[in-house]
A and B are shown apart, each in its own frame.
Chain A
Amino acid sequence: ETGVTQTPRHLVMGMTNKKSLKCEQHLGHNAMYWYKQSAKKPLELMFVYSLEERVENNSVPSRFSPECPNSSHLFLHLHTLQPEDSALYLCASSRDSYTGELFFGEGSRLTVL
């Protein structure tokens, strides 16, 4: 139990669907992250939020839309995805955006048909 909870753990969606991934952290951290993990590739940082403000957006396609309503919750809204978007999406949190230690959730396995 890392203190970071992701739901759902598995998601299958069609290219025209709209779905959302949810992340909640119970650690009192101020920074939250979305990473994409694909086979044989380094983890790709997608978004960083610090104190509910987005501080990093690594050229992620607009079909991925993050939302951080408060410091404990982070969402990733998905719309008109492509099959190549199938991957494990990992949420992480840290005490602040400079601390250098991430706490990860167990991930949401996304399959786009």
Chain B
Amino acid sequence: AQSVTQLGSHVSVSEGALVLLRCNYSSSVPPYLFWYVQYPNQGLQLLLKYTSAATLVKGINGFEAEFKKSETSFHLTKPSAHMSDAAEYFCAVSDRRTGNQFYFGTGTSLTVIP
């Protein structure tokens, strides 16, 4: 079975500061890993995904994430926060064998302080 833990349901950063959103997963097999973003009153949009290629994955809007097998982590980072980054962020894992079962974390709400 797989699961996802997102540490910190709320994160606040100043504009221009580093963004770090944490995600740890548990999986019995090498997983696919994803970060999605949800802006108010909208659906989820894919930021980036890891599917066993490079461990450092670059996504849209300047975000990137690093897959660390030894730590079972897939933390999301952005060097400099922008006001438009304020949103809800979800980490997700799926089994490569049966990709239709996605497991989502409970989400992290990012606030950017001017």
Contact = CB atoms under 8 A, between A and B. Distances in A.
Verify that A and B bind, or say they do not: yes
Interface of A: 2, 4, 6, 31, 33, 40-43, 45, 48, 50, 55-56, 90, 92, 94, 97-107
Interface residues of B, number: 26
Nearest to A9: B41
A97 B45 contact: no
A106 B99 contact: no
Given A42-B104, A43-B90, A43-B104, A97 B99 contact: yes
11 contacts: A40-B106, A42-B4, A42-B103, A42-B104, A45-B102, A92-B44, A94-B99, A100-B96, A101-B49, A102-B44, A104-B36
Interface of B: 4, 9, 32, 34, 36, 41-46, 49, 51, 90, 94, 96, 98-107
B109 to A, nearest CB: 10
B99 A42 contact: no
B32 A104 contact: no
Contacts of A2: 43, 45
Nearest to A109: B41
Contact of B34 (A45, A50, A101): A101
Given A98-B98, A98-B100, A100-B49, A107 B106 contact: no
A40 B90 CA distance: 12
Given A40-B106, A102-B46, 9 more contacts: A31-B100, A42-B106, A90-B44, A98-B100, A100-B34, A101-B34, A101-B46, A104-B45, A106-B42
Contacts of B34: 100-101
Nearest to B99: A98
